[in-house]
C-alpha cells in the first residue's frame, strides 16, 4: 500500500502531504511560543520592577546575525538540491549546521555568565539607605524602580545591585564587588567590595531562573528556543548524512525534505528575531 | 507477547476475527502498528480501560459523599487504621482530593478525548474519505505511544510517596505549585520529580504531544487524501466534526503546554511564574522570588480548557449525526448549516475562556466581553441540536441500539447546554461558580451527552470492525438503566448547586451544613440517592462489557453494509484490509442520500456510480 502525494503534489490542493503537515505543526508552535510571550507580557505588566539591559546586547546581536545567516545558507542548500547539485547541497547544509553550533556556543557563554553573576535585592528602602554612601563611593550601578524609567507610585520600591562575589558568603553577610555604571557588568573592572548583612537582604543569588520572574521567563523562552535549535540541527544533520542515498533514488523527495526542514529552521530563526528585542532591548 | 512470533506474510482475511493486514511480527501488528485501524482499536481499548478506571475512582468518592467516614464496602476491611490513605478503610481527605483530580484528568484526557478523537477518528475518518491510511502512519503510531505512556505515567503517580496529584483536573496555582512539596506537607518525603503533581505535569506534556501529532495527521489526511469526487461538501458531518476538533487541539493545547512547562519550572527550578509575592504556606513565608501570578495559570489553562470542552462534544455530535442519518432513513436536515455551525464553534471557542474566571475579579468590562461571546457560542450549538432533531421528523426510524443512544443524546445534551446559559451570565455565575450546579452542567454534556454518543458509535461501527453485530438485547439492557441512572446522578446536582453545595466538600457538606449553613442542609440528603444511582450505573455497564467481548464470537455475522448506510466506510471489505479498499473508490454524491424518490432502495451509497445517478 502506498500513501498518495508524499512526493508530488495533489492537483486540486497544490500541496504534498509533508508541506501541509509542517505548516500545521508551525501553527501549533506559534501558539506555544505565543503562550509564553503572553505570559511575558502578563508578568511584566504586573511586576514591581523589571530589569532593563540585563543581558549582553553585543552577544545577542551576534547570535541574531548568525541565525539569519543560517537561514540564508538553508535556502541555498534547498536551491542546490533543486538544481540537482549534491556537492553544493552538502556545503550549504554544513554551513547551516555550523551556524547552529555557533549559536548554541554563544548562548552557552551567555548562560554561564548569568550563573556566575550575583544579584542582591534589599529588604526595603531603609535597608538600602544604610549602604547608599558606600555604594555611591564605589560607583555601583543601583537598579531601582523609584526614579526614572519604570517609576510608578503603586509599586513596592525596589533596590537591587549586582556584581561578583568578592570573598564569599558567610552565615550573616555577603561580600560583593558591585558592577558599576557605564557597562560595569560587562567590563569586569571591579573596584572594591562591599559587605551586605543578610538581615538587610530580601533575596540574593546568581541570575538563575529562580532569581526573579524576569530570569524565569528569560531562561524558559531562550531554553525552549535553544532546544528547538538543537532539534532542528539533529534533523538537518540526518538529512546531510542520509541525503546521498535519497538524492540518488529520488532527488525531488530530498528537496521536499530539505524544504520542510528549512521551514522549521526559518521558524526557529523567526522566534529568535522576536526574542532578541523583547528580552535584550526592551 | 514476544517479539519473535511471526505470522506468515499474506495470511488472513479468511477468519473474520483475525487481522488481515497481519504482516511481520505480532509486535509490529498489534503494538507498533502503523495501520490506522489497528491504532484506532488500540486507542479504543486503552481509553475504555482508562474510562472504567476513572469511573471506579468516582464510585469510591460517591461512597464517601453518601456515607462520610465509613469504610468502603468490599475493600475497606483490608486497611488498618494506620493506613495513611484509607485509615480503617475510609477515605482520607488527601485521597479524596487525589481521586477527584485524577477522575477529571483520566476521564477527559485519557478517556473521552482519546476515544472520541483517537479511536473513532483514526478508525473511521480515513475510511469515510476513501483514503488508504493516514497521511503519516508512523507519526500516528508515535501519537498512540505518547498517549499510552502519558497515561501509564499518570497512573504510576498513585504509587509514589504522597500519592497522585490533588489539585483538581485544572491544577490551579499556587496550590499546584506547592502541592506535593515539603512546604505544604512537611512530614512526607517527596521525590523532586516522582511526586504526584510533577508527574501529572510530565504526563500532560506527553498527552499534549500525542494530541498534537494526531491533530497534524488528521488535518493533513482530510485535506490531502480525500478520494476522487469527495469534495468538501460531500464529506460526512463526522469528518467535519473531527476536522474542527483537530484544529482545536492543534491550536489550543500548545498554550497549556507552555503553562505546563512554566509550572514544571516552578516546581523543579524554583521559579515563581505562578507564585505571588508574600505567599505563606503552612504558616511560613514561601522561599521564592515571588512576582508571579496565579491568574496567569488560569488564563493559560482555560485558553485550552474551553476549546477542550468542544473537543469533547464535537466528535460526539458527529457520531450522532451519522447514526441518526442511517437510522431515520432520511437526509440530514440542514447539512450546510451543520458544517457552518461546527466551524463557527471552532472559531468562537477561542474567545470565551474567561467565563470560567468570573470570580477572579477581572473587571466588569472584561466579564461583559466574555459573557457576550459565551452567549454567542450557544447559537451554533443550538443550530446543531435543532438540525439533528428535525432530521428525525417524519423519518422511518429504526430503533436500533445505536439509535437509542443517539436519540437520547439530543435531550441530554440539550439539558447540559441549557443549564450552561445561566452560567454564561456573570451575575448568576458568581453564585453558582464552583458549586454542584456547574458539575451538573458539564456532566450532562459529557456523560449522557458525549459518552452516550460514544456508545452509539461503538454499537454502530462494531460490525465494520469485527464483521459481527453486537447483541440488541444486551444493548437495550445497557441503554435503559444507563439513561435512568445518569439522570439520577446528575439531575439532583442542579438542586444541590443552587442550594450552595460546593463541588469540593469532602464529606458531602454535612459538617458545614449542620452548625452554620442552613441553606445547604435541605439539599445534602440527595447525596445518598445520587450515589446509589452511580452504583446502579456501574451495574448497568456490565451488559455492555459482556456484549463487547461475547459478540466477537456470538454476534450475528453481517456483510459489508449491515445498516444499509451510504458513507464510504461501508464500501470497504469487513474488516477492512491494510490499505482499506479492495478497489479504487470514488464519491459520486453527498453523504446522506436516503429515501431519494424514484429509487427502489431507500439509500444511495456515495460509492455507487450508475444505479443511483437518476439526477
Ligand atoms: C452550550 C453552551 C454552553 C455554555 C453557555 C456553557 C457555559 C459554561 C460556563 C459559563 C461555565 C463556567 C461555570 C463556572 O465555573 O462557574 C461552564 C463550565 C463548564 N462547561 Fe460549559 N457551557 C456550554 C456548553 C458546554 C459543553 C458543550 C461542554 C462539554 C462538552 C461544557 C463543559 C463544561 C465544563 C467541563 C465546565 C466546568 C469546568 C470546571 O470548572 O471544572 N460546556 N460552562
Ligand atoms: Cu467554557
User: Domain ranges in chain A?
Assistant: 17-113+214-281, 117-206
Q: Which tops the pLDDT comparison, B322 or B76?
A: B322
| pLDDT exceeds cutoff 60 at B613 | no
> Given the C-alpha cell 443524546, which residue does it identify?
B409
- Cβ B220–A24 below 8 Å, yes or no? yes
Q: Does the beta carbon of B370 sit less than 6 angstroms from any atom of ligand 1? A: no
Beta-carbon separation of B220 and A10 below 8 A:
no
The DSSP secondary-structure symbol of B24 reads E
Which pLDDT does position B439 carry in this prediction? 97
Q: What is the pTM of this model?
A: 0.93
Indicate the top mutation candidate among B252, B302, B309 to test ligand 1's pocket, ranked by most ligand atoms within 8 A of CB: B309
The CB of B381 under 6 Å from ligand 1? The reply is: yes
- CA-nearest of A122, A220, A65 to B271 is A220
Contacts of B272 in chain A (CB under 8 A): 210, 212-213, 216
User: What span, in angstroms and rounded, lies between the C-alpha atoms of B353 and B86?
Assistant: 37
Interval B226-245 mean pLDDT: 97
Cβ(B574) to ligand 1 under 6 A?
A: no
> Residue A138 is placed in which grid cell?
564605589
DSSP element (H, E) containing B377: helix B364-392
Asked if B258 is an interface residue toward chain A (Cβ–Cβ < 8 A), one would say yes
State whether the Cα torsion B100-B104-B109-B114 is positive or negative.
Answer: positive
Q: Hey, which CATH number is domain A17-113+214-281, 3.40.630.40, 3.30.465.10, 1.10.340.30, 1.20.120.80?
A: 1.20.120.80
Distance CA B360, CA A30 (A): 28
Residue B132 lies in a domain: yes
Residue B601 inside a domain? The answer is: no
What range defines the domain where residue B181 resides? 26-275+289-571
CA of B488 to the centre of ligand 1 (A): 20
- Distance between CA atoms of residues A17 and A28, nearest Å: 17
Q: Quick check: B212 contacting A, CB < 8 Å?
A: yes
Separation between Cα atoms, residue B301 and residue B252, nearest integer Å: 9
B202 and B154 in contact (C-beta within 8 Å)? no
Cα distances from A181 to residues A132, A136, B487, in angstroms, run 15, 10, 71
Cα(B360)–Cα(B506) distance, integer angstroms? 23
**Dihedral sign for Cα atoms in the order B232, B238, B243, B247:** positive
Let me know: does B421 contact B378? Beta carbons within 8 Å. Answer: yes
Is the minimum distance from the CB of B355 to ligand 1 under 6 angstroms? yes
**Do the Cβ atoms of B269 and A17 come within 8 Å?**
no
Cα distance between residue B106 and residue B158, in whole Å? 13
Class of residue B284 by CB neighbours under 10 A (exposed 0-12, middle 13-18, buried 19+): exposed
Q: What is the mean pLDDT of chain A?
A: 91
Q: What is the pLDDT of residue B465?
A: 96
Mark which residues 168-227 of A lie under 8 Å from B by CB.
Answer: 203, 208-213, 216-217, 219-220, 224
Interface probe for B, chosen from A17, A19, A224 (most Cβ of B below 10 Å), is A17
Evaluate: CB of B550 within 6 angstroms of ligand 1.
no
- Name the percent of chain A lying above pLDDT 70: 94
pLDDT interval class at B517 (50, 70, 90):
confident
The verdict on residue B298 lying in a domain is yes
* B117 Cα to the center of ligand 1, angstroms: 20
For ligand 1, atom 22, the nearest C-alpha belongs to B420
Cβ contacts of residue B575 below 8 Å, gap of 6+?
B16, B19, B20, B37, B464, B465, B466, B467
If one residue of B112, B168, B441, B501 were mutated to test the ligand 1 pocket, choosing by the most ligand atoms within 8 A of its CB, it would be B441
Q: If you measure CA to CA, which chain B residue comes closest to A48? A: B291
Task: Answer whether B472's CB lies under 8 Å from B459's CB.
Answer: no
CATH number of B99's domain: 1.20.210.10
Query: Nearest CB to B250: which of A13, A24, A42?
Result: A24
Question: Going by CA atoms, what residue is nearest to atom 7 of ligand 1?
Answer: B420
CB contact under 8 Å between B265 and A216, yes or no, is yes
Judge whether residue B21 has pLDDT over 50. no
What is d(CA A186, CA A253) in angstroms, rounded to the nearest whole number?
Answer: 49
Please state the domain count of chain B. Answer: 1
| Of residues B576, B606, B504, the one with CA closest to residue B132 | B576
Rounded alpha-carbon distances, angstroms, from residue B386 to B144, B383, B408, B539, B590: 35, 5, 14, 33, 21
Distance of alpha carbon B572 from alpha carbon A208, whole angstroms: 59
| Nearest CB to A209 within list B265, B296, B300 | B265
Does the residue B597 lie in any domain?
no
What atom of ligand 1 comes closest to residue B413's alpha carbon? Answer: 27
Residue from A1, A9, A212 whose CB has the most chain B CBs within 10 Å, to mutate: A1
Q: Confirm if B183 and B288 have CB atoms less than 8 A apart.
A: no
CA distances from B158 to A212, B63, B85, B141 (A): 33, 20, 11, 27
Question: B353 in ligand 1 pocket by Cβ < 6 Å?
Answer: no
In a domain, B377, yes or no: yes
Q: Chain B closest CA to A205's CA: distance in Å?
A: 10
Cα B177 to Cα A246, B269, B270, B271, B293: the distances in Å are: 49, 11, 10, 10, 11
Helix (H, G, I), strand (E, B) or coil at B486: helix
Query: Three-state SS for B69?
Result: coil
| Global ipTM | 0.93
Question: Average pLDDT of chain B?
Answer: 92
Please give chain A's pLDDT, 282 residues, in tens: 789 999 999 999 999 999 999 999 999 999 999 999 999 999 999 888 898 888 999 999 999 999 999 999 999 999 999 999 999 999 999 999 999 999 999 999 999 999 999 999 999 889 999 999 988 888 888 888 877 655 666 778 889 999 888 877 888 889 888 888 764 444 444 468 889 999 999 889 999 999 999 999 999 999 999 999 999 999 999 999 999 999 999 999 999 999 999 999 999 999 999 999 999 998
Amino acid at each position: 500500500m502506498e500513501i498518495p502525494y508524499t512526493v508530488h503534489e495533489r492537483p486540486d490542493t497544490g500541496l504534498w502531504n509533508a508541506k501541509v503537515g509542517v505548516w500545521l505543526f508551525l501553527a501549533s508552535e506559534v501558539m506555544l511560543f505565543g503562550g509564553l510571550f503572553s505570559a511575558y507580557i502578563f508578568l511584566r505588566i504586573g511586576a514591581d520592577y523589571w530589569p532593563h539591559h540585563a543581558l549582553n546586547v553585543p552577544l545577542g546581536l551576534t547570535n541574531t546575525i548568525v541565525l539569519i545567516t543560517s537561514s540564508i545558507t538553508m535556502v541555498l542548500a534547498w536551491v542546490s538540491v533543486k538544481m540537482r547539485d549534491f556537492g553544493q547541497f552538502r556545503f550549504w547544509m554544513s554551513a547551516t549546521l555550523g551556524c547552529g553550533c555557533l549559536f548554541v556556543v554563544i548562548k552557552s557563554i551567555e548562560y554561564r555568565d548569568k550563573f556566575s553573576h550575583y544579584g542582591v535585592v534589599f529588604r526595603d528602602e531603609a535597608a538600602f539607605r544604610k549602604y547608599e554612601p558606600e555604594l555611591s563611593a564605589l560607583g555601583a550601578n543601583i537598579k531601582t524602580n523609584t526614579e526614572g524609567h519604570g517609576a510608578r507610585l503603586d509599586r513596592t520600591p525596589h533596590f537591587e545591585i549586582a556584581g561578583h562575589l568578592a570573598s564569599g558568603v558567610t552565615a550573616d553577610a555577603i561580600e560583593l564587588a558591585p558592577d558599576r555604571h557605564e557597562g560595569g557588568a560587562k567590563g569586569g573592572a571591579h573596584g572594591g567590595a562591599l559587605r551586605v548583612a543578610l538581615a538587610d537582604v530580601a533575596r540574593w543569588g546568581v541570575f538563575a531562573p529562580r532569581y526573579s520572574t524576569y530570569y524565569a521567563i528569560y531562561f524558559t523562552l531562550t531554553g525552549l528556543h535553544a532546544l528547538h535549535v538543537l532539534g532542528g540541527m539533529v534533523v538537518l544533520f540526518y538529512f546531510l548524512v542520509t541525503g546521498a542515498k535519497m538524492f540518488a533514488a529520488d532527488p525531488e523527495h530530498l528537496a521536499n525534505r530539505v524544504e520542510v526542514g528549512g521551514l522549521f529552521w526559518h521558524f526557529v530563526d523567526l522566534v529568535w528575531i522576536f526574542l532578541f528585542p523583547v528580552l535584550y532591548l526592551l | 507477547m514476544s517479539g519473535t512470533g511471526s505470522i506468515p506474510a499474506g495470511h488472513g482475511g479468511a477468519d473474520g476475527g483475525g487481522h488481515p493486514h497481519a504482516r511481520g511480527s505480532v509486535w509490529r501488528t498489534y503494538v507498533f502498528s502503523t495501520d490506522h485501524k489497528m491504532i484506532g482499536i488500540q486507542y479504543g481499548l486503552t481509553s475504555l480501560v482508562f474510562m472504567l478506571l476513572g469511573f471506579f475512582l468516582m464510585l469510591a468518592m460517591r461512597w464517601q459523599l453518601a456515607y462520610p467516614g465509613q469504610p468502603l464496602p468490599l475493600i475497606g476491611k483490608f486497611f488498618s487504621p494506620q493506613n495513611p490513605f484509607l485509615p480503617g478503610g475510609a477515605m482520607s481527605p488527601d485521597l479524596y482530593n487525589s481521586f477527584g483530580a485524577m477522575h477529571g484528568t483520566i476521564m477527559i484526557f485519557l478517556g473521552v478525548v482519546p476515544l472520541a478523537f483517537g479511536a473513532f477518528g483514526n478508525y473511521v475518518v480515513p475510511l469515510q474519505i476513501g483514503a488508504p491510511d493516514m497521511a503519516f502512519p508512523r507519526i500516528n503510531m508515535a501519537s498512540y505511544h505518547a498517549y499510552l505512556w502519558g497515561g501509564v505515567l499518570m497512573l504510576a503517580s498513585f504509587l509514589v510517596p504522597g500519592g497522585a496529584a490533588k489539585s483538581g483536573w485544572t491544577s490551579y496555582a499556587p496550590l499546584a505549585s506547592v502541592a506535593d512539596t515539603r512546604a505544604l506537607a512537611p512530614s512526607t518525603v517527596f521525590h523532586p520529580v516522582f511526586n504526584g503533581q510533577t508527574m501529572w505535569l510530565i504526563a500532560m506534556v506527553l498527552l499534549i504531544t500525542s494530541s498534537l501529532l494526531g491533530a497534524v495527521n488528521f488535518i493533513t489526511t482530510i485535506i490531502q487524501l480525500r478520494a476522487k469526487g469527495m469534495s468538501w461538501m460531500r464529506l460526512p458531518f463526522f469528518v467535519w466534526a473531527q476536522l474542527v476538533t483537530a484544529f482545536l487541539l492543534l491550536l489550543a493545547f500548545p498554550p497549556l503546554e507552555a503553562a505546563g512547562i512554566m509550572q514544571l519550572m516552578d516546581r523543579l527550578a524554583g521559579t515563581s511564574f505562578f507564585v505571588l509575592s508574600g505567599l505563606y504556606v503552612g504558616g511560613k513565608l514561601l522561599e521564592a522570588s515571588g512576582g508571579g501570578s496565579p491568574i496567569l495559570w488560569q488564563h493559560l489553562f482555560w485558553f485550552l480548557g474551553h476549546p477542550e470542552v468542544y473537543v469533547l462534544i464535537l466528535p460526539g455530535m458527529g457520531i450522532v449525526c451519522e447514526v441518526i442519518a442511517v437510522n431515520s432513513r432520511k437526509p440530514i436536515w440542514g447539512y450546510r448549516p451543520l458544517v457552518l455551525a461546527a466551524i463557527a464553534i471552532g472559531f468562537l471557542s477561542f474567545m470565551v475562556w474567561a467565563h470560567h474566571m468570573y470570580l477572579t475579579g477581572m473587571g466588569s468590562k472584561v466579564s461583559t466581553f466574555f459573557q457576550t461571546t459565551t452567549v454567542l457560542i450557544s447559537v451554533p450549538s443550538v443550530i446543531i441540536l435543532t438540525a439533528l432533531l428535525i432530521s428525525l421528523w417524519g423519518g422511518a426510524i429504526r430503533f436500533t441500539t445505536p439509535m437509542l443512544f443517539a436519540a437520547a443524546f439530543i435531550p441530554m445534551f440539550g439539558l447540559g447546554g441549557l443549564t450552561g446559559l445561566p452560567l454564561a451570565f456573570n451575575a448568576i455565575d458568581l453564585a453558582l461558580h464552583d458549586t454542584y450546579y456547574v458539575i451538573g452542567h458539564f456532566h450532562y454534556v459529557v456523560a449522557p451527552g458525549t459518552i452516550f454518543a460514544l456508545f452509539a458509535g461503538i454499537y454502530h461501527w462494531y460490525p465494520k470492525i469485527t464483521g459481527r453485530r453486537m447483541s440488541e438485547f444486551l444493548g437495550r439492557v445497557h441503554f435503559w438503566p444507563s439513561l435512568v441512572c445518569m439522570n439520577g446522578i446528575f439531575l439532583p446536582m442542579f438542586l444541590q448547586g443552587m442550594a450552595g453545595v460546593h463541588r469540593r466538600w469532602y464529606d458531602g457538606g454535612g459538617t458545614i451544613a449542620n452548625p452554620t449553613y442552613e441553606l445547604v442542609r435541605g439539599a445534602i440528603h440527595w447525596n445518598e440517592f445520587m450515589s446509589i444511582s452511580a452504583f446502579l450505573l456501574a451495574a448497568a455497564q456490565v451488559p455492555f462489557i459482556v456484549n463487547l467481548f461475547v459478540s466477537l464470537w456470538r454476534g450475528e455475522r453481517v456483510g459489508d453494509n449491515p445498516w444499509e448506510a451510504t458513507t464510504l466506510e461501508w464500501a470497504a471489505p469487513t474488516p477492512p484490509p491494510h490499505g482499506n479498499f479492495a478497489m479504487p473508490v470514488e464519491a459520486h454524491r453527498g453523504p446522506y442520500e436516503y429515501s431519494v424518490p424514484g429509487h427502489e432502495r431507500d439509500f444511495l451509497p456515495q460509492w455507487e456510480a450508475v444505479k443511483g445517478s437518476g439526477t
